[in-house]
Amino acid sequence: MQLFNLKNKNALITGGTHGLGMAIAEGLAIAGAQLIITGTTPSKMEEAISYYTSKGYQAKGYLFDVTDEKAAAENVEKIINEVGDIHILVNNAGIIKRELAITMPVADFRKVIDVDLVGPFIMSQLVAKQMIERKEGKIINICSMMSELGRNSVSAYAAAKGGLKMLTKNLATEWAKHNIQVNGIGPGYFATSQTEPIRVDGHPFNEFIISRTPAARWGDPEDLAGTAVFLASKASDFVNGQIIYVDGGILATIGKPSNEE
């Protein structure tokens, strides 16, 4: 189990104040990591840090926008001075704007690209500098099934997540010689507070997800923890430039769902 032990490791999780980012952060904390959480909303940060500390995890929060290069640089330097080296970076912060491509404002398209793709580049570049000096580091980019597939009304999100997949591969190519592993996780459809209103019997999208997923269920946020711990630990020291899809099997099939005759 020492392969998966994250004791004495500092893990920075962007957008780790709610949802899947919080589930990933908790998984890393259970494996022994000290958490560094970023976010932009003070109330959410206060709630998240309160939750982490109530569970006995070591956690500190920093409020800044990952797309603001100056603020990101200042806070990464502050984190290193106050907490220590960053051993694990999880680029989780992201947004989605649902709008048909024909009517989507260009400003909205740019905003999604900025948060979901440029933000991870800024954070990876900043954090990798001290990883290169130390000759060790783990970067995990939170991709999406939209890194592989298109879907109605998410052209900006799919473009960003497809770009993030290729950014992951390219950073792995450049930084592997420094003993830095850069990989991604592509979540499927998960049971979060955001999806709660549609996860009810009879809702068309709920029925679609359950029937389309070979596992015949929504993912639990905790289902991401094992993959995150693997990619953050010594167990993945020779895994680089890969995207692991945690999707219950959706991307594995184009045939009838497994729960149909």
pLDDT value of residue 195:
85
The residue with tokens 């954070």 is: 123
pLDDT tens for 100-125 read 999 999 999 999 999 999 999 999 99
Using DSSP's 3-state secondary structure scheme, residue 190 falls into: strand
Starting at the earlier edge strand, list the strands of the sheet with 243-246.
59-63, 34-39, 10-14, 88-91, 137-142, 180-187, 243-246
pLDDT value of residue 179:
98
pLDDT at 87 over 90: yes
Q: Lowest mean pLDDT: which of 69-73, 127-131, 257-261?
A: 257-261
pLDDT value of residue 259:
52
CA atoms within 13 A on the CB side of 94: 23
pLDDT value of residue 260:
54
pLDDT at 78 over 70: yes
Model confidence, pTM: 0.95
pLDDT at 233 over 80: yes
pLDDT value of residue 1:
79
Q: What is the mean pLDDT of residues 54-83?
A: 98
Catalytic site residues? 157
Cα distances (Å, whole numbers) of residue 122 to 14, 38, 45, 64, 69:
12, 14, 21, 13, 7
Cβ-based neighbour number of residue 201 at 10 Å: 7
Q: What is the rounded CA–CA span in Å between residue 118 and residue 226? A: 27
pLDDT tens for 127-141 read 999 999 999 999 999
pLDDT at 99 over 90: yes
Q: What is the mean pLDDT of residues 197-202?
A: 92
Residues β-bridged to residue 182: 139
What are the counts of helices (DSSP H) followed by strands (DSSP E) for the chain?
8, 7
Share of residues in the chain with pLDDT > 70 (%): 97
